[in-house]
Structure 1
């Protein structure tokens, strides 16, 4: 709105400002509009005011003209201009442009209340079933939300570990998601600062019918790109540390609980093994899932037998080099490019690792051993 105000002010050559009206001014302006358009609907109630947050017409008050922008917490926000300095053409231009950017009319309060209660019931059911470790139960018929979970859907799980997460409410998040997905999604708050997002498959990757290996790989690539874009949008909108995970397309009526459990585990594993990353994919954490399933005593025994390379892995430069090297399939040239170093510098680092550990990560067997040792060190020694 402020950007629009600046541009309009330059175009019409008249000083404009965004003003918050008092509740009394807001109510009087609202009633004036109602009498002009539909007198019989005017009842003066707060609910009526909240239900119609879109003003269609500008209003002249004393020597100024108000172009209503939006309604928030019972207060109207308007763009104000001196009526004597504004030509009829300029007034029509402002009216037109403001009408294009102001929020649409809100859903009636009663409808919002019914939907909110159903979302809360659905959320409570998910939490209760997962707390009891019931991952194979279908959604019961008495939950109305089940009717919206038809066909194949894409699940996302969003968490926030920052104190600023209190600024993120369901309404704001749903509005942002609707814009990004370009369609309606189901948003279910779970635990504190945790949200489950369910979107129709066609909104994310289209409604392809093939299910061969090649199409499955293509689906994960599209999901990865879509999820990264969604994370960037959320992280730019609110201050906080967010983590986001996405799962493959599935049928929520039967597999919802197991999918939520998988996404929770994915975020946990991602935060444990890859602390610098914030977007986590279950198909990229298979080895980490296996490592974490090993009992603690067995992990420590393996580290003792493989050799304690804690000093090596505690060095950030070495750890970053190894992680990038493994991420790029042990390709020396590509790793050097990614790290912005000369190829010989990378070879020097790898030779240094060989001297200190006796393991050459350019050899497949030694690379596997170093990778396992590095993951075990992350989950064992860091504790």
Structure 2
């Protein structure tokens, strides 16, 4: 499979095994089942292509030769099965992933700005030109989700880019940490490719869409087709119901986000309930409709 990429990216290079002298000009992907490796020039991949390739293959990160020793130790630990960095043994950590979508990224300026939002030292590791992670120790987990959202908005206005964050769960620092990080990394990659460019992603926000995406066609077909048909007829109905559910059935907040009057919102909700017979005030009804929203969104 991976050999077919050679015809799409003519300057790419196929390797019989893991590259021994990787170039910083390339991104390297591995098909683990076939032990195939390919290097593709970074300049030939746009953000959408990169997200798609990381879903299909394993993106293998090689540390830069001029990394700070502490950063290199963490890079080797998380990405290359390296030994545990000794200075954090026994503590907890949180990994916040970020992705920048926009003009060419000025990494030193972005990194300096990120560090300015945190109260103590953090470790930043870049994955290519526009994606990276922030590692916080237990005593430096200072920013809440609302504060990280505010940080993303500030960075966007300062650098004229769209930046998305995935806020990882605090985890105990151990030999299992890389595996937990890579699971969160998979969620973030999925979110970027399937859920649009939101500012903040979390496990709770991504998991329902991730599970809906993994359903077999047979199971997807069992979700109420009546709801899907209604959304096909009236896209405005879909967007209204989804935002209403995402905002915990809060009418005022939903109307504000949709820029509509509360009476208009209530009319659309009543119309949906009348046509489907499903009450959104019931947990099971709301769950069923939200699942239908996710499947409809992915299908679109």
Q: Same fold (TM over 0.5)?
A: yes
Residue of structure 2 in register with 1:140 after alignment:
83
Q: TM-score, normalised by structure 1?
A: 0.52
Residue of structure 2 in register with 1:241 after alignment:
162
Q: CA 1:232 to 1:335, structure 2 compared with 1: closer, same or farther past 3 Å? A: closer
Residue of structure 1 in register with 2:110 after alignment:
173
Q: Deviations over 1:64-120 (max 9, x none)?
A: xxxxxxxxxxxxxxxxxxxxxxxxxxxxxxxxxxxxxxxxxxxxxxxx976446645
CA shift at 1:279, angstroms? 1.0
CA shift at 1:282, angstroms? 1.1
User: Do the aligned residues in 2 keep the contact of 1:272 with 1:378 (CA within 8 Å)?
Assistant: no
Are 1:301 and 2:221 matched, yes or no? yes
Are 1:374 and 2:289 matched, yes or no? no
C-alpha separation between the residues in 2 aligned to 1:310 and 1:161?
Answer: 34
User: Do the aligned residues in 1 keep the contact of 2:79 with 2:178 (CA within 8 Å)?
Assistant: no
CA shift at 1:373, angstroms? 1.0
SS in 1 for 2:169: coil
Residue of structure 2 in register with 1:84 after alignment:
none
Are 1:123 and 2:44 matched, yes or no? no
User: Do the aligned residues in 2 keep the contact of 1:266 with 1:285 (CA within 8 Å)?
Assistant: yes
Q: Deviations over 1:292-331 (max 9, x none)?
A: 3323x2344224x533625516755323321222123334
Residue of structure 2 in register with 1:65 after alignment:
none
Q: Higher strand share goes to which structure? A: 2
C-alpha separation between the residues in 1 aligned to 2:138 and 2:234?
Answer: 43
The counterpart of 1:251, out of the listed 164, 168, 172, is 172
The counterpart of 1:320, out of the listed 228, 239, 248, is 239
Q: Any residues of structure 2 matched to 1:1-383 within 5 Å, and which?
A: 115-116=67-68, 119-120=71-72, 122-123=74-75, 126-128=78-80, 139-140=82-83, 146-150=85-89, 151-162=91-102, 164=103, 166-169=104-107, 171-205=108-142, 223-271=144-192, 274-275=195-196, 277-295=198-216, 297-303=217-223, 306-307=225-226, 309-310=228-229, 312=231, 315-332=234-251, 335-336=254-255, 339-379=258-298, 381-382=299-300
Q: TM-score, normalised by structure 2?
A: 0.65
C-alpha separation between the residues in 2 aligned to 1:277 and 1:173?
Answer: 19
Q: Higher helix share goes to which structure? A: 1
Q: CA 1:194 to 1:335, structure 2 compared with 1: closer, same or farther past 3 Å? A: closer
Question: Would you say how many aligned residue pairs link Structure 1 and Structure 2?
Answer: 236
SS in 2 for 1:156: strand
Q: Give unpaired runs (5+ residues) of structure 2.
A: 1-63
CA shift at 1:376, angstroms? 1.5
User: Do the aligned residues in 2 keep the contact of 1:188 with 1:195 (CA within 8 Å)?
Assistant: yes
User: Over aligned residue pairs, what C-alpha RMSD do you find?
Assistant: 3.2
Name the structure, 1 or 2, with higher relative contact order (CA <8 Å, separation 6+): 2
CA shift at 1:128, angstroms? 4.5
